[in-house]
Amino acid sequence: MKLRNRFVIVLFLLLDAVAVPAEPAKAEKKAPPTTAEVLAATKPSDWRPLDLDNTLYIELPSGRVVIELAPKFAPAHVANIEALVRQHYFDGLAILRSQDNYVVQWGDPNADDKEKARPVPEAQKSVPAEWSVALTKAIGFTALRDDRDGYAPEVGFAGGFPAAADPKSGQVWLAHCYGIVGVGRGDPPDTGSGAELYAVNGNAPRHLDRNTTVVGRVVSGMEQLSTQPRGTGALGFYEKDEHGATIRSIRVAAEVPVSERTDLEVMRTDTPAFRALVESRRNRRESWFRASAGYVSLCNVPIPVRPTPPAPKL
């Protein structure tokens, strides 16, 4: 059906889209590759498995959300979130907020009620802000060429996350792109703990950069969060508890039985293959496109995720 082919754009966060068969460029073709061709030509070494000790599964009534945590960028918060998860803190809590074109947020609906709030005996109630870290070699920041970003001197990728950097101050931080996960906080900077988290569900709110601690990004199941009915209260908070979906559980992937895991690989962002992918987004080669942008903004670069391919037979 021709209709189904409109906007022939492979959105790589959709797992099935990654599986779309794509012909590699033939030798006689001189045209630069499309995104599908770049992906089809990747080698196993262009991908990395998720670190299961730093991967979370959120189980919602509608399905699973998989979050890759970023301990290099927020070590204390990631440790605290994992402590909360290990004591099953989140099980039975809820989505608290769903604001259109901004964020969806989850945690304890009674967090502000001293009598009803769920206790956190084995975790910190607040953690000092981790809004940026030192731009060391270990952080592995790769700048986007020709970035023209308004929010930071440099933007690019670090360890598979969208990031921004200021070489002058020597700092680097994760950028608020779609699906990024951050820590809710009150007015004072050090009031977040990871017990309340949010994910970006709309146009990249980059003005939040360096105003919250970013702890990771959704690598699968984002649609479970983005389609939550919008809250009717101020800022998209639900006015009645029954409107927010219940969190069945949050678990660290390594603690989930092997048969129940979601095996995913993330494309490495420091390879020639990834540079080719970025180039294929700067100038779209698919026949549908007529005007080439010659540019791609940080948050429009997909960081591909795919099911782990079966091991080759010996």
Binding residues among 225-244 for a copy of itself as defined by CB under 8 A: 226-230, 232-237
Q: Measured from the CB atom, is 138 or 293 closer to a copy of itself?
A: 293
Q: How far is the CB of 255 from a copy of itself (least distance, A)?
A: 28
HSE value, Cβ hemisphere, 13 Å, CA-based, for 304? 28
Per CB under 8 A, the list member of 145, 167, 170, 293 interacting with a copy of itself is 293
Gap between the Cα atoms of 98 and 5, Å rounded? 31
Within positions 172 to 231, which residues make up the interface with a copy of itself, using CB under 8 A? 177-179, 184-187, 189, 196, 198, 202-207, 209-211, 222-223, 226-230
Gap between the Cα atoms of 139 and 70, Å rounded? 11
Collapsed DSSP state (helix, strand, coil) of residue 57: strand
Gap between the Cα atoms of 214 and 67, Å rounded? 12
Q: Per CB under 8 A, does 33 bind a copy of itself?
A: no
20, 48, 251 from 44: Cα distances, Å: 18, 8, 28
Q: How far is the CB of 312 from a copy of itself (least distance, A)?
A: 27
Q: How far is the CB of 287 from a copy of itself (least distance, A)?
A: 6
Q: How far is the CB of 253 from a copy of itself (least distance, A)?
A: 22
Within positions 251 to 270, which residues make up the interface with a copy of itself, using CB under 8 A? none
DSSP string, 260-308: G---EEEE-SSSHHHHHHHHHHHS--STT--S--S---GGGS---EEEP
Mask 59-88, x = binds a copy of itself (CB under 8 A)?
------------------------------
Total binding residues toward a copy of itself, as defined by CB under 8 A? 75
Stretch that binds a copy of itself, among 75-83, 244-252, 254-262, 288-296 (CB under 8 A): 288-296
Q: How far is the CB of 204 from a copy of itself (least distance, A)?
A: 5
Q: Which two tokens stand for residue 123?
A: 């975790």
Task: State the DSSP code for 178.
Answer: T
